[in-house]
């Protein structure tokens, strides 16, 4: 008797199926498809991400071993490695990119009130990229160096919840600073970047769009101080200056003033020189803002350790992008589940549990929080014997409505 939903089916309830179908319809993902739909493909690759599968054959073997249960979790098509490989190679990766965008929009609303290390009302973003090494013979389209291939994930995360808001997948030859041209800047928001993104022509676009940037200065900068502010050196600050660029190439591209802050970390003794176009915040707040940039590095570490994005099932560009976007969808889905269910476990612990319990009929909150539901104290036989004839049938019906698992066991024992 069917007494509940599998954990994977409960998890996928947080995926808005209607929005997913709209994404599929937009790119005609199910055009002339009879048996294996885009939703089947998404569920199979999400299963591979959550259970750490390593190949198409691995996915095929594991899912076919669970064949009687696949219908109840939403997989209607026949699982075959050739079918999976063909779907990954031919179906537009933008389907899953748009699906991830829907999940990201929902997750950002949930995490909008999350506290930050810096007490600011504005949105704070961290922008960086990570490189995923590939084999040059298997991935010739992702040329990086003479004998090496790679793809880059240029990622903008919202520091409230560490939710990726923008992801661009490129070959390894694309320089990080070129990704700034792809950003849609939000007025009033702060963008925290390392010094690899220093291009004053591009940084001036932030000024024109009323957005703020915080970055580290390079040693070969050419500037002239025009004003200075007093700082408390016991906090690690050394100077807070207003300056103008004097370089032959930099001065015409960034003609307005810059704020330069020098800071020494009291713990490590390391020196930092920050550049920003914000003249309102305190200098120490700017230093703390840059320290928050490390969250994007932790995000990259998490997805590389907990998701399958370092080894790919397919070798085409479409297959690689499809796998990455579904992996990011799984990450955001885990973040949504954590917030919706108010789980105390960390983002590193939650994905480990479904890897063993995906096809168990355990309530999702009990499974992910590892808290057993309170067992109801059953009355003794002597106390219910006089009423058994009159209300036995009604009590059985009520129990089936509210406690189906216990009712099925009681019926089986009787």
The pTM for the full model equals 0.85
Question: Tens digits of per-residue pLDDT, 282-339?
Answer: 999 999 999 999 999 999 999 999 998 988 999 999 999 999 999 999 999 999 999 9
Residue 37 binned pLDDT confidence (cut-offs 50, 70, 90): very high
Domain ranges of the chain: 7-96+312-367, 117-301, 387-413
Residue 40 binned pLDDT confidence (cut-offs 50, 70, 90): very high
Of 3.40.50.300, 3.30.70.360, 2.60.60.20, 3.90.350.10, the CATH number of 117-301 is 3.90.350.10
CA distances from 2 to 14, 146, 338 (A): 22, 57, 27
Q: In this structure, is the dihedral angle defined by the CA atoms of residues 339, 342, 345 and 350, taken in order, positive or negative?
A: negative
The whole-number pLDDT of residue 267 equals: 86
Q: Which of 157, 133, 111 is nearest to 300 (CA)?
A: 157
The whole-number pLDDT of residue 332 equals: 95
The whole-number pLDDT of residue 379 equals: 43
The whole-number pLDDT of residue 219 equals: 84
Task: Return the structure tokens found at 212.
Answer: 């703020």
pLDDT higher than threshold 60 for residue 412: no
In the chain, the N- to C-terminal Cα span, in Å, equals 16
The residue among 158 and 249 whose pLDDT is bigger is: 158
The radius of gyration of the chain's CA atoms, rounded to the nearest angstrom, is 27
The residue among 156 and 268 whose pLDDT is bigger is: 156
Question: Tens digits of per-residue pLDDT, 188-220?
Answer: 999 999 999 999 999 999 999 999 999 999 888
Lowest mean pLDDT among 173-177, 335-339, 367-371: 367-371
DSSP 366-403: HHHHT-PPPPPPPPPHHHHGGGHHHHHHHHHHHHHHH-
The whole-number pLDDT of residue 249 equals: 85
Query: What gap in Å lies between CA 142 and CA 180, rounded to an integer?
Result: 21
Question: Tens digits of per-residue pLDDT, 43-90?
Answer: 999 999 999 998 999 999 999 999 989 999 999 988 999 999 999 999
pLDDT higher than threshold 70 for residue 372: no
- For residue 225, give every residue at least 6 positions away whose Cβ sits within 8 Å of its Cβ, in sequence order, or none: 241, 242, 243, 260
Lowest mean pLDDT among 12-16, 148-152, 312-316, 375-379: 375-379
* pLDDT, mean of residues 90-112: 95
Query: What gap in Å lies between CA 127 and CA 377, rounded to an integer?
Result: 54
Question: Tens digits of per-residue pLDDT, 376-396?
Answer: 344 443 443 444 444 444 433
The whole-number pLDDT of residue 371 equals: 57
Residue 2 binned pLDDT confidence (cut-offs 50, 70, 90): low
Lowest mean pLDDT among 63-67, 183-187, 320-324, 398-402: 398-402
The per-residue pLDDT of the chain, averaged, comes to: 86
pLDDT higher than threshold 60 for residue 374: no
Q: In this structure, is the dihedral angle defined by the CA atoms of residues 129, 132, 136 and 142, taken in order, positive or negative?
A: negative
The whole-number pLDDT of residue 405 equals: 43
């Amino acid at each position: 008797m069917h007494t509940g939903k599998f954990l994977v089916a409960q998890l996928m309830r947080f995926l808005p199926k209607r929005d997913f179908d709209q994404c599929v319809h937009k790119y005609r993902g199910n055009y002339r498809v009879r048996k294996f739909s885009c939703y089947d493909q998404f569920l199979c690759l999400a299963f591979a991400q959550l259970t750490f599968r390593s190949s198409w054959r691995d996915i095929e073997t594991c899912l076919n071993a669970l064949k009687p249960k696949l219908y109840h979790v939403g997989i209607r098509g026949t699982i075959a490695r050739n079918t999976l490989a063909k779907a990954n190679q031919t179906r537009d990766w933008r389907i899953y990119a748009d699906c991830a965008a829907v999940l990201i929009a929902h997750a950002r609303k949930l995490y909008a009130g999350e506290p930050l290390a810096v007490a600011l009302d504005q949105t704070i973003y961290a922008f960086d990229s990570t490189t995923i090494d590939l084999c040059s013979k298997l991935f010739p389209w992702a040329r990086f160096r003479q004998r090496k291939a790679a793809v880059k994930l240029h990622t903008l995360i919202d520091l409230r919840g560490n939710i990726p808001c923008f992801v661009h997948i490129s070959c390894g030859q694309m320089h990080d600073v070129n990704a700034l041209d792809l950003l849609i800047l939000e007025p009033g928001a702060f963008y925290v970047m390392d010094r690899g993104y220093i291009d004053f022509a591009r940084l001036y676009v932030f000024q024109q769009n009323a957005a703020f940037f915080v970055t580290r200065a390079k040693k070969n900068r050419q500037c002239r101080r025009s004003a200075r502010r007093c700082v408390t050196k016991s906090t690690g600050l050394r100077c807070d200056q207003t300056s103008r660029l004097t370089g032959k190439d930099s001065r015409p591209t960034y003609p307005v003033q810059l704020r330069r802050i020098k800071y020494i970390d009291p713990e490590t003794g390391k020196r930092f020189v920050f550049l920003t176009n914000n003249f309102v915040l305190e200098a120490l707040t700017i230093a703390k803002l840059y320290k928050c940039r490390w969250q994007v590095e932790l995000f990259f570490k998490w997805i590389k350790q907990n998701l399958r994005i370092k080894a790919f099932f397919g070798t085409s560009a479409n297959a690689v992008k499809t796998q990455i976007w579904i992996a990011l969808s799984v990450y955001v889905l885990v973040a949504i589940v954590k917030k919706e269910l108010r789980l105390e476990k960390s983002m590193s612990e939650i994905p480990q549990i479904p890897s063993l319990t995906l096809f168990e009929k355990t309530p999702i909150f009990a499974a992910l929080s590892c808290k057993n539901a309170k067992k109801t104290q059953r009355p003794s036989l002597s106390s219910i014997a006089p009423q058994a004839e009159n209300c036995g049938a009604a009590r059985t019906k009520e129990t089936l409505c509210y406690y189906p698992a216990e009712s099925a066991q009681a019926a089986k024992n009787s």
